[in-house]
Amino acid sequence: MIISHTKKFVMLLPWKAASQTLTARLMPYDESPYDKFFYFNPYLNRIVHQHITCADFVCLPESKLDYLVASFVRNPYDRVYSGFQQLQYDLEWEPNENFPESWIRDHVMKQLAEISTQLYQAHLDFDEWFDGVTEDQIYDSGRNTNFLLHPAHYWTHLGDQQLASFIGRVENFEMDFQAFLDRVNIANAPVINKNVRSGTDRNGESANNPFGYRYIHRMRPESIRKINRLFERDFELLGYEKVIPPETSKTKPQITIRTEKSPSTPPPDKPLVSVCILAYNRPDGLAHTLERITQQSYKNLEIIISDDASPDKRVQTIAEEACARDSRIRYYRQDHNLGIIGNHEFLRQNARGKYLMWACDDDWWHEKYIEVCVEALETHPEAVLCATNSSIVQNSQLHSHPEYVHTLNQTSPAKRLATILPQIQWLNNTFYGMMRRSVASTILFKKRLAFDLFFVAELALRGAFIQLPYFYFRKQMNGIGGGLQQNLAAIKVQSKASALFPTLTFAVQLAADCTKLPQLSLIEKVRFIPCIFWIASQKDPFPNTHKSILNRIKQFPLKLKDWAYYKAAISKIRNCDVTMRLFTEPVSIDEVRYHAEKNMLELPLLNISLRFPDQMALLNGCTGFQKLMHHYDLSMEQHPDGKIIIRYEDIRFYFTASNNYYVFEEVFIHRCYHVHLTKPAIVFDLGMNVGFTSLYFAQFDLVEQLFGYELFPYTAQLAEQNIALNPSITPKIKVFPFGLGNENRTAEMTYSKQHLSLNGVFQSGIYSETDTLETTLVQFRSAHEVLQPILEDYPAHQKILKIDVEGSEYEILDNLWTNNLLDQFDILLIEWHEQGPQSIEHMLEKFGYQILSMTNYQPNTTALTGMIYAFK
């Protein structure tokens, strides 16, 4: 967004509509305080980019100025295709240099991971990619701030009202831009073109259609029809002509976009790369990994497979078949199990290449992964390792993992070690980058827990690391060493210290290693050792001041207290996994008993038992309910089948998920939805979840009928079970197992049974690595078609609309606005999410509602939420 107080104008800049050219030409007049590409906007309470939409602009103080508001737009076909090209270029973008604030950088990297996944799954083909683009991505401008293809009228209109008093077209850029200069009395502006082509397209591409659209010939008819449907409002409000494709054509001109063809035989000057694959009992994963590696654009490889005596004979079959197809592959089957460290050592001894890479038999590599790493290491001989950005796959879900180890400009070994240790301490995907074999072969594999972390730490002392901005590597979680006991077994470590105190053991061993490293001076060793003990619990474990060191030394007695608790717990429970789980929960070991035969954890004070590990997620909520029992009429009981029932006054419900406690506390204890009713009422519970809010409203005599809508069938079933426990109010509540939206449609969505209240359309980053995710089909119904008949049936009743739908509230309210139903309610109770409250507040104000709006602000987070209470 460009703001000029001198010339009194505001220029709103849609993505892919000459925004760079406009910024360059109007730079002498730009006085905008919002010129950062990504930043935290205090007026919007979230991260935004410089492409501010109308909905966000009206929330800024500058919107109150009597300035000319202008914007340039572009036909939807060219915007979509140009956006597709831009997204490909973004794969090579380096957000770490643009955003020194780590939390903003992580936010952008997570979004790039989502975008890159769609592009790679489509093999960088436009039609395949656009076929996978969802309506949510197009319409929800707050969902992914780095997605380019929201409708252009978002920057010219607010609802049906045109906010921009000047709208120019990119297709007539020079003429319209001059008209804009005349409007704001600018005599001359720099003639700078950034990707804008004046006049006829220099490639002649726009001559193939009567409207002069540049990219229409590159699309299949299916893509053109989808653009016509998704950007219907752009065609209507901005006056562009639609292209109606022929019904029978299924082809398009074949073009190649930004791809490079590698020669089948590598030039002799290309260095040999040894790819070492550790295989054990996962034949399908091995086949997948071999496919990804043999299809690398870089061809001068030796691929070595070491099968660590897999019981499954299909591993050998797949490996031998691969050897027959590709002469670069060598296969070794071990006579006995070497363990993960022995297997690494065997592979390293048999590698001959200049560069070495490790690969597990379930990893994913982009086809250019090896090529870009070789190029970087050949360019920078001072570097000993090259990696790219990485993602993790957990329960079939892709997550970005911000692990940044770029130390190319750091000459001090101590500073390099201090930089990388906080980054690699959790997953250490850096270990699967490309290393110089001459350096890697000199580092011993230590038979320890987290042996790969020790290896990478010592490698950092030998030289610099390069991290490239591409998301070219994915690590499959829950592998052979997915848990602590599995990890120790795979490493063949039989150490009680490692099993009982893994973090402490690691810290002690790392501190001992630091005292022996010749690369560190005595002062650096003294500085490192006390800080290493906090590596697993501190974001930056290497302070630069003596004051920071002293503060952490003061915390040492607290750490000793934790370790003492851990020792006492393991002596009582005598189960390492149970003890480790208890260590993370706010429960005293004096309040629990563990029955090894039944694998149950008994809580005598509550008179219930939890199955391990199935019901351990309830432990945190149990302690919360236990505290409330001292102050409220609340109790717990357990059925013979293990189900736990909570009774609060006259209301009963099942305790099935950890966050049941927090929702209960919000609704029944904090009474966040409590309103004073003055006459008979009906309530619409949109996003009823497991039914707590419905039960809360239905207990009041003046509430005659409640209509509950829940998107996820599993959650709706739990709501029906909870309602059935309360027969006196059951007749009041009707449960509908579908969600509301703009239209009737079916979608496939992911959800977590552990976090039922968080499932919805905004899911990026809300699940933890331990969550089990499932996919289900869900139904959406048009909001006005569902609600209007009910409203007509209760003309004299007070009408309450409660909305908590994890992101769908914007779509629902827009549907009610468009169909003139938004003013039919007396009270609205709305929880808003990532897009902020401003657009909702604006709609409600138009209908004369009095509004109380609150934000649940949390520093350094983009997942903001808040509440809006609206009354007439």
pLDDT digits (tens, 9 = 90+) for 736-787: 999 999 999 998 887 777 655 555 544 443 444 444 567 889 999 999 999 9
In a domain, 215, yes or no: yes
Q: What is the pLDDT of residues 485-513, one digit of tens each?
A: 445 455 555 555 444 445 555 556 666 66
Domain C-terminal end among 213, 238, 263: 238
In a domain, 742, yes or no: yes
2-24 per-residue burial string, b: 16 or more CB within 10 A, e: under 16: bbbeebebbbbbbbbbbbebbbb
Extract the tokens encoding 301.
Answer: 């490889």
Kind of pairing, strands 46-49 and 38-41? antiparallel
User: What does the pLDDT read at residue 207?
Assistant: 38
The DSSP output letter for 667 is I
User: What does the pLDDT read at residue 66?
Assistant: 86
In a domain, 821, yes or no: yes
In a domain, 730, yes or no: yes
740 and 796 assigned to the same domain = yes
Distance CA 632, CA 503 (A): 40
660 and 645 assigned to the same domain = no
CA distances from 510 to 206, 344, 377, 531, 541 (A): 64, 21, 28, 11, 13
CA distances from 365 to 7, 82, 301 (A): 52, 27, 14
Mean pLDDT calculated for residue range 256-264? 34
225 and 322 assigned to the same domain = no
26 and 147 assigned to the same domain = yes
Kind of pairing, strands 2-4 and 9-12? antiparallel
User: What does the pLDDT read at residue 360?
Assistant: 86
799 and 859 assigned to the same domain = yes
Domain C-terminal end among 492, 508, 527: 492
Angular region, 599: left φ>0, alpha ψ -120 to 50, beta rest = left
In a domain, 57, yes or no: yes
710 and 769 assigned to the same domain = yes
Number of domains composing the chain = 4
Domain C-terminal end among 460, 492, 524: 492
3-state DSSP call for residue 113?
A: helix
In a domain, 257, yes or no: no
Kindly write down the DSSP assignment for every residue of 38-100, as one continuous string.
Answer: EEEETTTTEEEES---HHHHTTSGGGGS--EEEEEE--HHHHHHHHHHHHHHHTT--HHHH--
217 and 332 assigned to the same domain = no
659 and 630 assigned to the same domain = no
85 and 210 assigned to the same domain = yes
18 and 102 assigned to the same domain = yes
Name which of 349, 308, 331, 341 is nearest 437 in CA terms.
Answer: 349
Q: Count the neighbouring beta carbons within 10 Å of the beta carbon of residue 831.
A: 19
In a domain, 516, yes or no: no
Distance CA 505, CA 510 (A): 9
CATH at residue 466: 3.90.550.10
Helix boundaries (H) for 298-409 = 314-325, 339-350, 369-379
Question: Given pLDDT bands bounded at 50, 70 and 90, which one contains residue 538?
Answer: very low
pLDDT for residue 619 is more than 60: yes
CB 832 within 8 A of CB 865: yes
CATH at residue 810: 3.40.50.150
Least confident of 45-49, 203-207, 625-629, 798-802: 203-207
635 and 666 assigned to the same domain = no
673 and 788 assigned to the same domain = yes
In a domain, 63, yes or no: yes
Name which of 374, 348, 360 is nearest 296 in CA terms.
Answer: 374
pLDDT for residue 195 is more than 90: no
Bridge partner residues of 781 (DSSP): 740
Q: Which of 517-531, 574-588, 741-755 has the highest mean pLDDT?
A: 741-755
* Cβ neighbours for 815, distance < 8 A, ≥ 6 positions apart: 740, 741, 742, 782, 783, 784
pLDDT for residue 36 is more than 80: no
Question: Given pLDDT bands bounded at 50, 70 and 90, which one contains residue 348?
Answer: very high
Q: What is the pLDDT of residues 641-681, one digit of tens each?
A: 888 999 999 999 999 887 888 899 999 999 999 998 989 99
Which structural domain range is residue 176 located in? Answer: 2-106+115-238
CB 70 within 8 A of CB 168: yes
Q: What is the pLDDT of residues 138-177, one digit of tens each?
A: 877 654 455 668 899 998 988 878 899 899 988 888 888 8
| Phi/psi of residue 356, nearest 5 degrees | -130, 140
The DSSP output letter for 713 is H
CA distances from 240 to 149, 534, 573, 662, 782 (A): 17, 60, 71, 50, 28
Q: Tell me the helices (H) and strands (E) count for the chain, helix number first.
A: 31, 33
Distance CA 771, CA 776 (A): 16
| Residue 776: its H or E element | strand 773-782
Angular region, 204: left φ>0, alpha ψ -120 to 50, beta rest = left
